[in-house]
Chain A
Amino acid sequence: MVKVSMKVNGKPVSAELEPRTLLVTYIREHLRLTGTHVGCDTAQCGACTVLVNGKAVKSCSIVAMQAEGADVLTIEGVAKPDGTLHPMQAAFKENHGLQCGFCTPGMVMNALDFAKSNPNPSEQEVREALEGNLCRCTGYHNIVKSIVAGAKAMAATK
């Protein structure tokens, strides 16, 4: 067993884990933050995307120990404490950027990171930024629209 400590959604957490524990397993099974999803076993789908030190990472593709000391943000930590949606979340709602909701947390987390450095992205830039996120419901149309709108909204509220 190894000891791992990190901050998740602003809160310090630590645990004794088997070294092979994936970050996503730690988040879902140990912390019971089940908003982060697992959709594949080959790192294509991106449903497990979280931010590690502000950067979008697939939490199924690293062991929890690789996030030792890091600041991890999951979908549960994105809205304001009073429940108000973050502008990116709101953009997904307004643009019908989700259907079954399973890929959604990964989409939102990746979009949050992407929008930080792309305040006014083009459709094409958004599509390229979604190389690592699969959705089977929406045909991406409204996800792309959501992220374009969400990025602008984030820039406007800065």
Chain B
Amino acid sequence: MNAPLVGARIQRKEDYRFLTGAGTYTDDVALPGQTYAAFVRSPHAHARLRKVDIEKARKAPGVVGVFTGQNLADAKVGGLPCGWLITDVDGKPMKEPPYPALAQGKVRHVGERVAVVVAETLQQAREAAELVEVDYEVLPAATDVRAARKSEPLHDIAPDNTCYVWSIGDKAAVDAAFAKAAHVTKLEFVNNRLIPNAIEPRSVNAMYSRADDSYTVYVASQNPHVERLLMTAFVLGLPEHKVRVVAPDVGGGFGSKIFLYAEDVACTWASRQLNRPVKWTAERSESFVSDAHGRDHFTVAELAMDKDGKFLAMRVDTMANLGAYLSTFASCVPTILYATLLAGQYTTPLIYCRVASMFTNTTPVDAYRGAGRPEATYVVERLVETAAREMKIDPAEMRRRNFIRTFPYQTPVALQYDTGDYEATLQAAMKMADVAGFQKRKEEAAKRGKLRGLGYACYIEACGIAPSNVAGSLGARAGLFEVGEIRVHPTGSVTVFTGSHSHGQGHETTFAQVVADRLGLAVEQVDIVHGDTSKVLFGMGTYGSRSIAVGGTAIVKALDKIIAKGKKIAAHLLEASDADVEYDRGVFKVAGTDRQKTFGEVAFAAYVPHNYPLDKLEPGLNENAFYDPANFTFPAGSYVCEVEVDKDTGATRIASFVAVDDFGKVINPMIVEGQVHGGLTQGIGQALIESTRYDAQGQLMSGSFADYAIPRASDVPYFVVDTRETPCTHNPLGVKGCGEAGAIGAPAAVVNAITDALGVKDVPMPATAHTVWSALQKTSH
């Protein structure tokens, strides 16, 4: 028998096509009769549309169609829906303003779509778009979430620009605990708005076929079935079976490609009006203003302790910036995915959090790698580190005093952690980071004129949001299960269909490892198919680090069915009773004998059923499973970051970064490490350089890679990463998920290190050289 595949560093099956230029991303798809779309976008953050004159554009060379919001309204095309209903503290539903795919009456952020021009060539579309004349009546813009309540209203139904005020926890009990605390630590900060910037820009290519009144939509999406469901049921009013959505190779998502976007709707709708395929691919400057942004919280957070540093209570007040409209999952990110994580790894018995989510004249904000959990971790880990310093308790010791040590553990903010060992990851991280030698390194750095600092972050994450009925009771408007199908071919090779989507995560390898291991096959004998609604039964896609925990488990459940059926076939072939047949990695065996059949032999018998129990069993070997998890999974980890700050310039260098994560069982360590490296780098980007800036008129100042920095190779070091395993207790693989961890834990670790280096209570993110230098001017350094 082969060595186990689960846990092995198997090279990726998908790499060959990417390394040879043979990947197929949406923009690579060229359809017969292809046309190209260009969007006319608002240059104003807030304005009434007095007139949209498309006559000149319509007559421009090559133009085949020009459409405005009025056309969509006339055709009764619906607005973009929001997938999660949050209920206000007063019991009323959140305000859900209409979100038309092309603006109607008003524009509410720079970059909002006013019209779409479709032409024979991209050049022609772009040139004609410049001929669309729009008469704007410019209105004052709300850009700062703190001032939003008193700014010009964006939507009639929300006169104070408030979408909802939501809370969790027992405020009176929390206030009482604060009143008798020995020490209270308070911080006030902004969790900076980020622009996701997957390197593949968003793209859609939609084709209508009159032959059967159907649509095929290629789109850079993380969840093609959800895209189809939202687009057909809520926006275009089409039957789902007439729409095929294909998310082919997708060049990174990080959350930004979860959502149903207006461009997808407009191109799909236009393809029918024109009876031609319509393609649009974002220019990067369009991505900056039209991809959903992430984070953007203003928070006041307090932690109450007894005299020994034991946490008594936490009180958090957050204003979340939703941008101009409710994007697909915008409402649940600063609530359900944020406040429920405020216990972190600690036994804080009382937590209260209030969140006011505001509309502003900025690009809509939604889930971005971590989605609420980085914001929560930042609150918790900045508070804990600051409290430790204020109370003169070693920050690691402070954490240890408060770690949750018995599981399952019910937090005061709804979640029940199934398992974990926080001490183990912290201890390992401290050892790998040589925390003991830090003082010496600090002194050595000082001789070079550098300020060295060390910061921790011990994060918790909740992945695989579930179960559907609980989520439904909290406002989710979608299911949260996943689907797997195993199709065994007559010669024993296997095609697996998954509703999860891979856009860099390596599912084609990881999932194949799981299946091949269980069936005793080589990885090459198992292919994974994803991203096509015409092939995959159904799926919720990839977000929230759910793929292996939910999608992987669905596959395992389908495998169980395959094996159960295989046992019956084997029992027949071996002339034994079903109950006597045992199965282990590709071999069906009569217990206690050496009589056996291989998986391949059983598969062949299923498809060539000459010697087969046809009276009891259908031929064929093809099973599927829908898996709805019983609980979230709870990855956790400890990060130690060391920085060196250049006193003269304020520039911060990440001197070392150690990450020890507990992802439960690891299927492919190589891929898991890669996920951590990427997440850490995005987290470091948030902490140090990623700065989204609007001016008072609502213009995005940081609207290109020339002004919005994302980390380059020279901004980060080699990372030191390792894992500890406490297997998840409620899925068969024992897996928890690893996609977002790095982005969740890194920002707090970096800022904790910088504040340590500077000896200050706080520095704002991003802690650019300029920001740190400014902070240094107020110190004695």
| Residue B284, interface by CB 8 Å | yes
Q: How far is the CA of A41 from the CA of B708 in the complex (A)?
A: 13
Q: How far is the CA of A34 from the CA of B30 in the complex (A)?
A: 10
**Candidates A32, A92, A134; contact of B712 at CB < 8 Å:** A134
Q: How far is the CA of A38 from the CA of B27 in the complex (A)?
A: 9
| Residue A79, interface by CB 8 Å | yes
Q: How far is the CA of A136 from the CA of B425 in the complex (A)?
A: 26
Chain B residue with Cβ nearest A95: B670
- Chain A residues with Cβ below 8 Å from B22 are 35, 76
Interface of B is mostly: loop
- Are A140's CB and B199's CB within 8 A? no
- Are B251's CB and A37's CB within 8 A? yes
- Are A40's CB and B284's CB within 8 A? yes
- Chain B residues with Cβ below 8 Å from A126 are 713
Q: A141-B719, A144-B713 are in contact. Are A99 and B249 (CB under 8 A)?
A: no
- Chain B residues with Cβ below 8 Å from A38 are 27, 201, 281
- Chain B residues with Cβ below 8 Å from A127 are 712-714
- Chain A residues with Cβ below 8 Å from B30 are 32
Instruction: Quote the shortest CB–CB distance from B285 to chain A (angstroms).
Output: 6
Q: How far is the CA of A131 from the CA of B431 in the complex (A)?
A: 33
- Are A99's CB and B706's CB within 8 A? no
Q: How far is the CA of A119 from the CA of B713 in the complex (A)?
A: 19
- Are B21's CB and A36's CB within 8 A? yes
- Chain B residues with Cβ below 8 Å from A144 are 713, 718
Q: A45-B199, A130-B713, A142-B677 are in contact. Are A101 and B14 (CB under 8 A)?
A: yes
Q: How far is the CA of A88 from the CA of B20 in the complex (A)?
A: 11
- Chain B residues with Cβ below 8 Å from A44 are 704-706
Q: How far is the CA of A144 from the CA of B199 in the complex (A)?
A: 18
Q: A37-B25, A41-B283 are in contact. Are A96 and B670 (CB under 8 A)?
A: yes
- Are B503's CB and A100's CB within 8 A? yes
> In chain B, residues 239-284, which have Cβ atoms closer than 8 Å to a Cβ of chain A?
249-252, 254, 281, 283-284
- Chain A residues with Cβ below 8 Å from B714 are 127-128, 130-131
- Chain B residues with Cβ below 8 Å from A134 are 199, 705, 710, 712
| Residue A143, interface by CB 8 Å | yes
| Residue B335, interface by CB 8 Å | no
Chain B residue with Cβ nearest A102: B251
Instruction: Quote the shortest CB–CB distance from A57 to chain B (angstroms).
Output: 17
- Chain A residues with Cβ below 8 Å from B28 are 28, 34
- Are A74's CB and B506's CB within 8 A? no
- Are A143's CB and B504's CB within 8 A? no
- Chain B residues with Cβ below 8 Å from A33 are 21
| Residue A42, interface by CB 8 Å | yes
- Are A101's CB and B504's CB within 8 A? yes
- Are A39's CB and B716's CB within 8 A? no
Chain B residue with Cβ nearest A33: B21
- Are A42's CB and B284's CB within 8 A? yes
Q: A34-B28, A100-B252, A131-B714 are in contact. Are A136 and B682 (CB under 8 A)?
A: yes
Q: How far is the CA of A89 from the CA of B16 in the complex (A)?
A: 9
**Candidates B19, B21, B252, B719; contact of A93 at CB < 8 Å:** B19
| Residue A137, interface by CB 8 Å | yes
Instruction: Quote the shortest CB–CB distance from B576 to chain A (angstroms).
Output: 44
Q: Pick from B196, B505, B710, B713 the residue with the most CB of A within 10 Å.
A: B713
Instruction: Quote the shortest CB–CB distance from B220 to chain A (angstroms).
Output: 10
| Residue A65, interface by CB 8 Å | no
- Are B19's CB and A108's CB within 8 A? yes
**Candidates B11, B25, B252; contact of A99 at CB < 8 Å:** B252
**Candidates A18, A42, A83, A100; contact of B251 at CB < 8 Å:** A100
- Are A45's CB and B252's CB within 8 A? no
- Chain B residues with Cβ below 8 Å from A92 are 15, 19
> In chain B, residues 273-319, which have Cβ atoms closer than 8 Å to a Cβ of chain A?
281, 283-285
Q: How far is the CA of A98 from the CA of B201 in the complex (A)?
A: 17
- Chain B residues with Cβ below 8 Å from A136 are 196-199, 252, 254, 678, 682, 710
Instruction: Quote the shortest CB–CB distance from A94 to chain B (angstroms).
Output: 6
Chain A residue with Cβ nearest B719: A141
- Are B283's CB and A35's CB within 8 A? no
- Chain B residues with Cβ below 8 Å from A140 are 677, 681, 711-713, 716
Chain A residue with Cβ nearest B201: A39
- Chain A residues with Cβ below 8 Å from B198 are 100, 102, 136
**Candidates B21, B673, B679; contact of A35 at CB < 8 Å:** B21
Q: How far is the CA of A89 from the CA of B24 in the complex (A)?
A: 18
**Candidates A41, A78, A83, A104; contact of B284 at CB < 8 Å:** A41
Q: How far is the CA of A146 from the CA of B254 in the complex (A)?
A: 23
- Are B705's CB and A139's CB within 8 A? no
Q: How far is the CA of A130 from the CA of B711 in the complex (A)?
A: 11
- Chain B residues with Cβ below 8 Å from A45 are 199, 284, 705
Q: How far is the CA of A75 from the CA of B15 in the complex (A)?
A: 13
Chain A residue with Cβ nearest B502: A100
- Are B18's CB and A104's CB within 8 A? yes
- Are B199's CB and A75's CB within 8 A? no
Q: How far is the CA of A140 from the CA of B677 in the complex (A)?
A: 8
| Residue B465, interface by CB 8 Å | no
Q: A136-B197, A141-B718 are in contact. Are A75 and B680 (CB under 8 A)?
A: no
Q: How far is the CA of A56 from the CA of B713 in the complex (A)?
A: 17
Encode A98-119 as 1/0 by CB contact (under 8 A) with B: 1111111100100000000000
Encode B728-747 as 1/0 by CB contact (under 8 A) with A: 00000000000000100000
- Chain B residues with Cβ below 8 Å from A89 are 19-20
Q: How far is the CA of A78 from the CA of B25 in the complex (A)?
A: 20
**Candidates B17, B200, B506; contact of A39 at CB < 8 Å:** B200
Instruction: Quote the shortest CB–CB distance from B456 to chain A (angstroms).
Output: 20
- Are B20's CB and A47's CB within 8 A? no
- Are A99's CB and B674's CB within 8 A? yes
**Candidates A39, A78, A100, A142; contact of B250 at CB < 8 Å:** A100
**Candidates A36, A98, A123; contact of B15 at CB < 8 Å:** A98
- Chain A residues with Cβ below 8 Å from B718 are 123, 141, 144
- Are B504's CB and A85's CB within 8 A? no
Encode B160-202 as 1/0 by CB contact (under 8 A) with A: 0000000000000000000000000000000000001111110
- Chain A residues with Cβ below 8 Å from B18 are 98, 100-101, 104-105
| Residue B23, interface by CB 8 Å | yes
- Chain A residues with Cβ below 8 Å from B572 are none
- Are B21's CB and A75's CB within 8 A? yes
Chain B residue with Cβ nearest A21: B123
Q: A136-B198, A139-B680 are in contact. Are A130 and B712 (CB under 8 A)?
A: yes
- Are B719's CB and A139's CB within 8 A? yes
Q: How far is the CA of A45 from the CA of B199 in the complex (A)?
A: 8
- Chain A residues with Cβ below 8 Å from B17 are 101
Instruction: Quote the shortest CB–CB distance from B642 to chain A (angstroms).
Output: 17
- Chain A residues with Cβ below 8 Å from B199 are 37, 39, 45, 47, 100, 102-103, 134-137
Q: A39-B200, A141-B719 are in contact. List 19 more A-B contacts (CB 8 A).
A: A37-B251, A38-B201, A38-B281, A40-B284, A44-B706, A45-B199, A75-B19, A93-B16, A99-B504, A101-B23, A102-B251, A105-B21, A127-B712, A127-B713, A128-B713, A134-B705, A136-B196, A141-B673, A142-B677
The 7 residue pairs across chains A and B that have the minimum distance between CB atoms: A35-B21, A102-B251, A101-B18, A100-B504, A139-B681, A139-B677, A99-B504
Q: Can you give 5 A-B contacts (C-beta < 8 A)?
A: A34-B24, A96-B11, A102-B198, A137-B252, A139-B681
A residues apposed to B, CB below 8 Å = 18, 20, 28, 32-42, 44-45, 47, 74-76, 78-79, 83, 85, 89, 92-94, 96, 98-105, 108, 123, 126-128, 130-131, 133-144
